[in-house]
Structure 1
């Protein structure tokens, strides 16, 4: 079994179901995306550049769907929040699968993919 699959299977509910659902939407929406296991969490890369990662922050009761270049997307997609005072990353916090607006999320994935494909690098803020 791949480490990323093990990661998902080791999550408690409702996190496991939320993450597996988000994963399926990402993989079905962007067939070119590459799923990787880095820093002990699942990352989704376009080419070699990270676009999204899924995480459960300590002490939080939600799945953090984090967009690496989220700061560039937050005006167009106000669902993206600046949690933990991150400089560049913005995320969607999901407590239930129903919290995810599927159509808006698919549009966000396409926009993030387009943005990343024209960027020289994914991490541009120090």
Structure 2
């Protein structure tokens, strides 16, 4: 079993179901994305640049769906929040699968992918 699969299957519910659902949406929406296991969490890269990662922050009760260049999209996609005072990363916090607006998320994935494809680097701050 790949490390990223182990990561998902070792999560408690409801986090496991939420993460597997988000993973399926990402992989279906962006077939060019590369799933990696880095820093002990799943990352989704465009080329060699990280675009999004999934995490459960200590002391929090949600799955953190974090966009590396999220600061660029927070006005257009107000679902993105600045959690933990991160400079560039913005994220969607999911407590249930139903918290995810599927159509809005797919649109955000496309926009983030297009933006990252055009940028020279993922971390710009």
- TM-score range (shorter-chain normalised) is over 0.9
Deviation of 1:94 (Å): 0.0
Match of residue 120 from structure 2: 120
Paired position in structure 2 for 1:68:
68
Give unmatched runs, 5+ long, in structure 2.
none
Distance in 2 (CA, whole Å) between partners of 1:115 and 1:47 is 12
Q: How many residues align?
A: 125
Q: Which runs of 4+ in 1 moved over 4 A?
A: none
Q: Determine the structure 2 residue equivalent to 1:31.
A: 31
CA distance, structure 1, for counterparts of residue 116 and residue 77 of structure 2: 16
What is the CA distance between 1:14 and its match in structure 2? 0.2
Q: Deviations over 1:59-104 (max 9, x none)?
A: 0000000000000000110000000000000000000000000000
CA RMSD in angstroms, aligned pairs only: 0.2
Query: Where does 1:84-103 land on structure 2 (aligned, <5 Å)?
Result: 84-103=84-103
* Other-structure match for 1:44: 44
> What does the per-residue CA deviation read over 1:19-51, in whole Å, with 9 as the maximum and x for residues that have no partner?
000000000000000000000000000000000
